[in-house]
Amino acid sequence: EAGVVQSPRYKIIEKKQPVAFWCNPISGHNTLYWYLQNLGQGPELLIRYENEEAVDDSQLPKDRFSAERLKGVDSTLKIQPAELGDSAVYLCASSAGAFSANVLTFGAGSRLTVL
Amino acid sequence: TQLLKQSPQFLSIQEGENLTVYCNSSSVFSSLQWYRQEPGEGPVLLVTVVTGGEVKKLKRLTFQFGDARKDSSLHITAAQPGDTGLYLCAGAGAGSYQLTFGKGTKLSVIP
């Protein structure tokens, strides 16, 4: 069974340009997460979906970040316009439920470099 | 916000040595997870602990959850180069779904 698939793996853009990341979770996993991981830091939650509903987006900078999960499966995270400080790894994860002890399966991440 | 402090931040040891890394907080967690992350990959779950005082073993790795459920430790016996990676702890508060991650301990095991 394929794990969580993310693309692109790497993206280099100039500041003020838009960028989008795509995530395909594990089949049957209703809960999907987007995390931000800066160099040398642990992941920080950006948004959590239960099926197609964003149930926690309190940490998502809504002035430039947006996300969607149409049909409750794949998800896209967009940044427009990108800033230098957005350079980081964007991790997608999924789980079978939102219970705190649920296993999160992470994708390999999308590494963004903003020049 | 529940903060998780991990120590040491960096650890470099020789193959065959033992080591312990720590995860501490002033908050109580209903559950705590340990992940290992290799360069260019996402974190991979190693273990989940939910009961105060719980000890779990995974081959050469021993995980302990503190009695008060505020701290945890990971002990590796006879470290091998394949243990190299970033070890992250993540905790969830009572009644919360949200995991808070520590900054991690970066372990290098030198052959």
Q: How does pLDDT run across A61-77, given as a tens digit for each residue?
A: 999 999 999 888 999 99
B110 touches chain A (CB under 8 A): no
Q: How far, in Å, are B21, B107, B108 from residue B76 at the CA level?
A: 9, 11, 12
The pLDDT tens digits for A33-47 are: 999 999 889 999 999
CATH code that applies to domain A5-98+105-114: 2.60.40.10
**How many whole angstroms separate alpha carbon B8 and alpha carbon B5?**
9
- Domain range list for chain B: 13-110
Angstrom distance (rounded) from CA A96 to CA B97: 12
Determine contact: B97 vs chain A, CB below 8 A: yes
Render pLDDT for B38-48 as a digit per residue (tens, 0 to 9).
999 999 999 99
- b/e for A22-44, b at 16 or more Cβ within 10 A? ebbbbeebbbbbbbbbeeebbbe
What CATH code is assigned to B13-110? 2.60.40.10
> Which residues 59-98 of A have a C-beta within 8 angstroms of B?
91, 93, 98
**Residue B103 and residue A42: Cβ atoms within 8 Å?**
yes
Could you tell me if B96 lies within 8 Å of chain A, comparing CB atoms?
A: yes
Residue B41 to residue A109, Cβ atoms within 8 A: yes
Closest CA to B44 of B55, B30, B54, B58: B58
Rounded CA separation B101/B24 (Å): 11
